[in-house]
Amino acid sequence: MNRKQYLIATISLAVIGVALMVTNFIFNYMDWTWVFVIVLIGYVYLKYKLQGPLQVFSTKFNMLVDYDLEVKEAKQLCQDRVDNAPTAGIKSLYMVYLGMATYYAGDYEEAIKVFNQIELKRLNNVYHILILSFTAYAAYEASDMETFNLSIERIKNMQNSVSRKYLGFVGSYVQVLEAMQNLESNPEHYREVIENQFSRNDGYISTKLTYNYRLAQYYKVMNDEVEMDKCLAKVIANGKEHHTAIQAKKMFKNSVNIEDYVFVEEEEIEEVEIAEDQKLIETEIQDVEDIEEVETVEKDDDDLFK
């Protein structure tokens, strides 16, 4: 449903409701209860037409960036949704995805600009954490350490405003970002964090790319060029136009043969029991329904779509 369709549906619902009330008043045609029921059904249908496409979009976006690695197509998908969003709140939500897609495409400075244009007041606090985290990731890749450090501090300052259910989620971001921040001073801790967060076989190609790319940065600090190139070769051989592959090509020293590191399809996927609120959205996009459940101290859940 685009903005034009949304306005037509909203106006039609209002007109029908008023018409029924007038009809009931003048002709005493039906009970007021039925008027209320009809208007309520119309409202529920309208809300379904707004939120249904969000869930379909989230699934498609996830497939494009995590499995197919078609990041440019994902970016165009997001741009089309932003341009045709029915409400300002949903437009802000689509802009979050657009910023992430732009990051995945390797356009880091542009991604930061997109995130800065989002009207935060229209979104849940969990989305604020998501935006700041991706801003930090993008700034790190763009060597903008001022923005990177500031984003981490803002995430920490927002922890108390997030529901307890999502404190682990926020903590996971802080853990990874701080490990990146202290990579050169404490590389072993960095490796431990990367192993814990990204070494699992969850079926996502993007998880493997992120794991090997982040691990290559560890080996770079340790001056182990061969091991670094092994990790980078895996990213280059399998990453298509994913941002990790783009960056890996810049770091690669040609000490190994890239063709030897194409991923072989694995029969079994590890059953990793990780709470939904602890999954990093750098490699997995949360379903819209999960985010809607978040409680904030400032707004009700329904405010997300207003």
The answer as to whether 198 is a domain residue is no
Residue 29 lies in a domain: yes
pLDDT at residue number 87: 83
- In the chain, the amino acid numbered 17 is G
Q: What is the pLDDT of residues 154-188, one digit of tens each?
A: 999 998 888 888 888 889 999 999 999 999 999 99
Helices 88-104 & 125-141 angle (0-180, nearest 10): 30
Q: How far is CA 302 from CA 50, 51, 132, 292, in A?
A: 12, 11, 22, 8
Q: List, for residues 32-57, the tens digit of each pLDDT value.
A: 565 566 666 665 555 555 555 788 88
Q: Is residue 44 part of a domain?
A: yes
Task: Identify whether 26 is part of a domain.
Answer: yes
Say how far apart CA 294 and CA 306 lie, in whole Å. 15
Q: What is the mean pLDDT of residues 212-241?
A: 97
Widest CA span in the chain: 86
Compute the distance between CA of residue 234 and CA of residue 255 in angstroms, rounded to an integer.
13
Rounded CA separation 256/244 (Å): 18
Q: Left if phi > 0, otherwise alpha if psi is -120 to 50, otherwise beta: which for 241?
A: alpha
Q: Assess if residue 179 is contained within a domain.
A: no
The residue that leads in pLDDT, 37 or 239, is 239
**Is 100 a member of any domain?**
yes
The Cα–Cα gap between 157 and 298 comes to 15
Handedness of CA 179, 294, 53, 202 (dihedral sign): positive
| Residue 7 confidence (pLDDT) | 55
Q: What are phi and psi of 162, to 5 degrees?
A: -100, 145
**In total, how many domains does the chain have?**
1
C-beta of residue 123 within 8 angstroms of C-beta of residue 149: no
Determine how many CB atoms are found less than 10 A away from the CB of residue 83: 11
> DSSP assignment of 151-194, as one string?
HHHHHHHHGGGB-GGGHHHHHHHHHHHHHHHTTTT-HHHHHHHH
Predicted confidence at residue 85, as pLDDT, reads: 86
Domain interval for residue 46:
1-123
Higher pLDDT, 221 or 276: 221
Nearest CA-CA partner of 239 in 215, 217, 261: 261
Tell me the sheet residues that pair with 162: 296
In a domain, 203, yes or no: no
The answer to the question of residue 102 being in a domain is: yes
Alpha helices in the chain (DSSP H): 3-27, 32-62, 71-83, 88-104, 108-117, 125-141, 145-158, 167-181, 187-198, 205-221, 225-238, 243-251, 288-292
Tens digits of residue pLDDT in 119-167: 988 888 889 999 999 999 999 999 999 999 999 999 999 988 888 888 8
- Which residues are paired to 296 by β-bridges? 162
CA 208/CA 241 separation, integer angstroms: 15
Q: Is the dihedral of CA 202, 205, 207, 209 positive or negative?
A: positive
Global pTM? 0.75
296 SS3 class: strand
